[in-house]
Structure formats: structure tokens, C-alpha cells
Amino acid sequence: MPVGRSPRIQVTGRARAGKTTLRHALSLLTAEETRPVDQRGQPCPVLDADLLLYVLPGTADRADRRLLATLPPNRTLVVLNKADAIGTRWSDAATMAENLRSDLGFATFPVVAVLAARTRSGLLTDTDLHTLHRHRDRADPPLTLSHDLFTASNLASDPEARQALLDRWDLYGVSCALTALRHDPALGARALLQILHCASGIDRLHHEIHRRYTAIADPAPPKS
């Protein structure tokens, strides 16, 4: 990298993998988002940045694997986005990330970028908290299995409030918030927001990007 130039970061992956959401979740607004690598009639984008973030929407297909095989592991991080849709618990996503790391040879990070982006840009309102507390002690396990179950009109008299909560925090965020409040009903908005941010998995990825960015921008002098 030429002296005096800031490291370039590219965010790439298939269409609808969540590239734009990830950029906002990481506050990487100067990073270059490529066109989708699977865009019909178009060649694969040139991936030549100092640091590449390859976003997978839950899993790697054959085309992903072929393309990843051409990328340098020392300049590439794989982001397993939409980790909340993998299996039934976070450990399922973590296991898949570890399997991808073993199979592909890239550091791989499970994240829920949409939740991370919302925790960076939003706050839990009093209305959010009131709605969460109204349903905190419900014993029915299917409550947060789907959007339809959570917003069912026969569940309680506040379907509009439940829908608004989903619109703001999505199902995974709502589920994490309810779990946290069941353990500690006294949690305030700020503490609960931090819990949701941690539950997104974004911090490990952010720290690794910062570490690599710093190493690229200020490489250690060669040993004499």
C-alpha cells in the first residue's frame, strides 16, 4: 500500500446478503460496497482492497466457495450474516462459522447486522419497554418463533404495539430483550440496548477489522 494512503475496505457478497446493513452496523461509511458477485450478465467485481469483507447470507454456496478460493486469507474476513436464522440458538451459528473457517481457511464471524445497525442508530423507547414488559412473563414458547405468532390478534389487546416493536427491533431483537428482562426485570433502556448490541455479535468483528486496519495502516518495521 502506498505511503500516506488510508487502507481500502471493500464489502462484497451475493445480492441481499446484507452488505449495506453491515456497513452501517460497523460505521464503515467510507468502505466500498461492490455490486453483487452473482449479478447476472456482469463480471465479478474486482476485489483488490487492502481488506475484504465477504458477506454470506447464512451459508456459503458453490459460487461463494469458488470465489473465496481466489481471495487472499490474510486480507479477507467472512461475515456469516443473518446468524439468527441459523438453527435454533447462537451456538448453531457459531458452529457453522467455525466449520466455514475450517473449510475455507478464513476468519469467519456470525453476526445479525440488522440488529447491530438498529442498536447504533436507535434507542429503546418507553413504549418499547412497556410492550416488552407486558409480554415478559408469557409462558408460551412459540411467542417469538415467528412474526405472525408474536403479532397474533388473539394473543393480547395490543397487536399494533407488538407490530411496532417488531418494526423497530425485529424478531431476534425482541426475543433477546424478552429473555434479558425475564432474568432481570429491572433492566433499563440503556442496559437493554447494550445487551442487544452484544447479542448481534458485531463487536468481535469490529475489533478484528480495527486490528487488521491498524496493522495495514501502520505495519511493523522489518526486523534487522
pLDDT tens digits along 38-74: 999 999 999 999 999 999 998 889 999 999 999 999 9
Residues 207 and 189 in one domain: no
Whether residue 212 lies inside any domain: the answer is yes
Whether residue 22 lies inside any domain: the answer is yes
- Cβ pair 166, 147 in contact under 8 A: yes
Across all residues in the chain, what is the average pLDDT? 91
The pLDDT of residue 6 is 84
Whether residue 208 lies inside any domain: the answer is yes
Residues 27 and 102 in one domain: yes
Helix (H) or strand (E) holding 22: helix 19-26
The pLDDT of residue 219 is 75
Residues 66 and 159 in one domain: no
Whether residue 224 lies inside any domain: the answer is no
The pLDDT of residue 31 is 94
Residues 98 and 131 in one domain: no
The pLDDT of residue 140 is 61
Residues 13 and 108 in one domain: yes
- What CATH number does residue 40 fall under? 3.40.50.300
Whether residue 1 lies inside any domain: the answer is no
pLDDT of 133 > 90? The answer is: yes
The domain containing residue 18 runs over which residues?
A: 9-112+201-217
Residues of the chain above pLDDT 70, percent: 94
Does the CA dihedral 146-151-152-155 come out positive or negative? positive
Residues 93 and 66 in one domain: yes
Whether residue 223 lies inside any domain: the answer is no
Task: Count how many domains the chain has.
Answer: 2
Give the model's confidence band at 177: pLDDT under 50 very low, under 70 low, under 90 confident, else very high. Answer: very high
Residues 103 and 148 in one domain: no
Give the model's confidence band at 139: pLDDT under 50 very low, under 70 low, under 90 confident, else very high. Answer: low
The pLDDT of residue 109 is 97
Whether residue 3 lies inside any domain: the answer is no
Residues of the chain above pLDDT 90, percent: 76
24/5: higher pLDDT: 24
162: left (phi over 0), alpha (psi -120 to 50) or beta: alpha
The pLDDT of residue 58 is 82
Residues 62 and 129 in one domain: no
The pLDDT of residue 220 is 65
Residues 160 and 87 in one domain: no
Whether residue 88 lies inside any domain: the answer is yes
Residues 95 and 131 in one domain: no
Distances (CA, A) of 107 to 2, 90, 103, 119, 212: 26, 18, 11, 24, 12
Residues 62 and 104 in one domain: yes
pLDDT of 224 > 60? The answer is: no
Residues 145 and 205 in one domain: no
